[in-house]
Structures are given as structure tokens and as C-alpha cells.
């Protein structure tokens, strides 16, 4: 596997912003991932893992060390149909791919996964979920286990984590770090709902109506504080349309910051800080970012 130098990361993020990775690789196999970890260890450089890049803000000053991007480590390995439908996939498999067998069997995870960007490992790391009150609505409800590769005593080792081994909280998981998530198994009881295909169509239509999907973004920038909707607070504060350079609070959905053209990460972060300050001063509520900041800040 080739380890490239000075790769522009903006091309690997949904926001289309961010500087260069000192070193960068695109593993396609488990052996490639292990090779990447061994290389970083030998060179004494830190590693940063990215998946679909739909929830990250990469600094304009780039990322130190080796960025391991798993987008090419993508394959549904197996689909097993018994009393549950189980799907096992490589970490970089798009959620949209894992959705397909559930949709074919008219099972509820198809509705949950539709419209969720990024890959399976990103879904696990973020405990990705939807605001609609559907079941399932968060990754914790569908994951059986996932595997993590890391170096142990200088050698690659893979550890499997069962769902119950992990602390799953709102848009966050703990108890598996550090390492590279490599495989994920999800499952759901094999009890079809004939309306699932229609519900998936409606949910997809709803997203197109409510979200600025025609512009680069990272989805909801802020977590919803207990008892509040971040989008509603930002809109109430009159911040829709607030712009710094190429970064703008979406006119369509106030919890989205869109790249209206040529945005820099420094402009996105200025919008984030301004929104936090105004919401704090008007409503005394602290908005915390859902989006992960990567690189030299």
C-alpha cells in the first residue's frame, strides 16, 4: 500500500475544507491497515482515522502524522437470515450499502439508515442517530459487535467488542479506543413491516425538503442540549444566514453550516464560535459541537 505525502484532505470531507495530511493512505485490506499502523509506529508519528468524512472539520493547517482513510475498505462481507437478519461489513462500507439487505426484507433498520451519510465505523464512533421517534433510532440499537485493530507490544492485534462492552451515549462511544475500527456486525429481528419501502421514500423526501443537501456541510454542527433543539435556538437568535467568508449558517436548517464556496476551516470555526457566543448570551445555553475537529488547531 502506498503511503502518500502532503495529501489535501478537503477532498475527503463533506465540507470540502481542510489542509493537508503530512502522510495519507487508503487501506483496502486488513493487512493494509496493519501495515499503516506499523509504519506510523516505526516513524514515531501519530495516526488519525477518517471514514466518510461527513462529521469532521479538518484544520487549514492540516493534520500531523498519518491519516488513515477507510473509504476504500468497503464491502458487505455476509448477510445471514435466521430469526434475525445479520449484516457484517468492513468499517468503510457506506451505511447506504448496509441498508440494502434490510430494505429488501422490509426491516426497520432500513428506515433508520436511510439518509445517514458516511460509513459504518463512523456510525459506531458517533453512535449516529436520527431525531425522529422511530425504532431503531441510534447505532447502539443495531450493533452486535465491532472489531478494533491496534498495536499490542509492537504487533497488530484485533479485539472484538460486544455491544454491552461499550458505553454508548448521545453521539459518542467510549470503551474501545485507541485503534482503528475494522469490521462491524449489525442485526435486527426478522419481522418485516410491509410499509418500510414507502416510509424510506417519505423519510428521504423529508430530508431533501428540510436539509440543505445541495451544499457541502457536515449535517448538524451542534448536539441538542437536554430539553432544547440547537436548530431552534440558533434560528430564534436570528443567526440564519450569518456568514464569515465562505461559511454560512444555512437559511434552510439553522443547525447546518454550509460551504457557500471556497470556505476555509478557520471561517467555519469563526461561525461556530459566534453561534455559541450568541446562543449563550441570549438563552444561557452552551452549545457543544457534534462535529469532530481534526488536525492542528
Ligand X SMILES: Cc1cc2nc3c(=O)[nH]c(=O)nc-3n(C[C@H](O)[C@H](O)[C@H](O)COP(=O)(O)OP(=O)(O)OC[C@H]3O[C@@H](n4cnc5c(N)ncnc54)[C@H](O)[C@@H]3O)c2cc1C
Which residues are designated catalytic?
171, 220, 290
**For residues 263 and 82, what is the distance between their CA atoms, to the nearest angstrom?**
49
Instruction: Please work out the total of residues on this chain that contact ligand X, with binding judged by CB under 6 A.
Output: 31
By the rule CB under 6 A, 53 interacts with ligand X: yes
By the rule CB under 6 A, 1 interacts with ligand X: no
Mapping DSSP onto H, E and C, the string for 82-135 reads CCEEEEEEECCCEHHHHHHHHHHCCCCHHHHHCCCCCEHHHHHHHCCECCCCCC
Site for ligand X in 171-230 (CB under 6 A): 180-181, 211, 213, 217-219
Among 16-24, 46-54, 96-104, 150-158, the segment contacting ligand X (CB under 6 A): 46-54
Residue of the chain from 19, 27, 52, 101 that contacts ligand X (CB under 6 A): 52
Beta carbon nearer to ligand X, 19 or 117: 117
Residue of the chain from 51, 101, 136, 156 that contacts ligand X (CB under 6 A): 51
B/e letters for 191-229, b = 16+ CB within 10 Å, e = fewer, are: eeeeebeebbeebeeeeeeebbbebbbbbbbbbbeeeeb
What x-and-dash track marks residues 114-133 binding ligand X by CB under 6 A?
Answer: --xxxx-xxx-xx-xxx---
Site for ligand X in 221-280 (CB under 6 A): none
Residue of the chain from 91, 113, 114, 184 that contacts ligand X (CB under 6 A): 91
Cβ count near 283 (within 10 Å): 14
State the minimum distance, in angstroms, from the CB of residue 69 to ligand X. 8
Beta carbon nearer to ligand X, 41 or 278: 41
* Contact status, residue 192 vs residue 107, Cβ threshold 8 Å: yes
Residue of the chain from 54, 88, 173, 224 that contacts ligand X (CB under 6 A): 54
Residue of the chain from 49, 89, 99, 269 that contacts ligand X (CB under 6 A): 49
Residue 234 region by backbone torsions, left for phi larger than 0, else alpha for psi between -120 and 50, else beta: alpha
The full DSSP string for 200-244 is HHHHHHHHHHHS-TTS---SB-BPPPTT--HHHHHHHTT-TT-EE
Site for ligand X in 137-176 (CB under 6 A): none
Cell digits for 73? 475498505
Residue of the chain from 9, 10, 26, 56 that contacts ligand X (CB under 6 A): 56
Cell digits for 201? 421514500
Beta carbon nearer to ligand X, 108 or 128: 128
State the minimum distance, in angstroms, from the CB of residue 155 to ligand X. 19
* Contact status, residue 19 vs residue 60, Cβ threshold 8 Å: yes
**For residues 215 and 248, what is the distance between their CA atoms, to the nearest angstrom?**
11
Cell digits for 281? 448570551
Residue of the chain from 25, 70, 196, 263 that contacts ligand X (CB under 6 A): 70
B/e letters for 249-262, b = 16+ CB within 10 Å, e = fewer, are: bbeebbbbbbbeee
Beta carbon nearer to ligand X, 278 or 293: 293
Residue with the CB atom nearest ligand X in the bound state:
122
Contact residues toward ligand X (CB under 6 A) are 14, 49-56, 70, 91, 116-119, 121-123, 125-126, 128-130, 180-181, 211, 213, 217-219, 292
Amino acid at each position: 500500500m502506498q503511503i502518500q505525502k502532503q495529501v489535501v484532505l478537503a477532498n475527503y470531507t463533506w465540507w470540502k475544507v481542510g489542509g493537508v495530511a503530512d502522510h495519507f493512505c487508503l487501506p483496502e485490506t486488513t493487512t493494509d491497515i496493519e501495515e499503516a499502523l506499523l509504519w506510523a509506529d516505526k516513524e514515531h508519528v501519530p495516526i488519525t482515522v477518517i471514514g466518510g468524512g461527513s462529521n469532521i472539520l479538518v484544520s487549514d493547517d492540516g493534520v500531523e502524522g498519518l491519516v488513515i482513510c477507510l473509504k476504500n475498505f468497503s464491502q458487505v462481507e455476509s448477510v445471514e437470515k435466521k430469526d434475525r437478519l445479520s449484516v457484517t461489513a468492513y468499517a468503510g462500507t457506506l451505511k447506504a450499502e448496509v441498508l440494502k439487505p434490510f430494505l429488501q426484507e422490509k426491516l426497520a433498520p432500513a428506515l433508520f439508515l436511510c439518509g445517514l451519510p458516511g460509513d459504518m465505523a463512523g456510525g459506531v464512533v458517533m453512535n449516529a442517530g436520527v431525531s425522529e421517534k422511530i425504532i431503531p433510532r441510534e447505532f447502539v440499537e443495531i450493533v452486535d459487535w465491532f472489531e478494533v485493530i491496534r498495536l499490542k507490544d509492537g504487533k497488530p492485534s484485533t479485539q472484538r467488542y460486544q455491544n454491552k462492552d461499550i458505553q454508548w451515549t448521545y453521539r459518542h462511544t467510549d470503551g474501545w479506543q485507541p485503534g482503528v475500527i475494522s469490521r462491524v456486525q449489525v442485526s435486527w429481528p426478522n419481522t418485516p413491516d410491509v410499509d418500510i419501502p414507502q416510509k424510506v421514500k417519505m423519510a428521504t423526501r423529508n430530508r431533501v425538503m428540510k436539509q440543505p443537501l445541495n451544499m457541502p456541510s457536515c449535517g448538524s454542527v451542534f448536539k441538542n442540549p437536554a430539553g432544547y433543539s440547537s436548530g431552534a435556538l440558533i434560528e430564534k437568535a436570528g443567526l440564519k444566514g450569518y456568514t464569515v467568508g465562505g461559511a454560512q449558517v444555512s437559511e434552510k436548517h439553522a443547525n447546518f453550516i454550509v460551504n457557500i464556496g471556497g470556505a476555509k476551516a478557520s471561517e467555519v470555526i469563526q461561525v461556530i464560535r459566534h453561534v455559541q457566543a450568541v446562543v449563550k448570551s441570549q438563552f444561557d445555553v452552551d452549545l457543544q459541537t457534534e462535529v469532530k475537529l481534526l488536525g492542528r488547531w
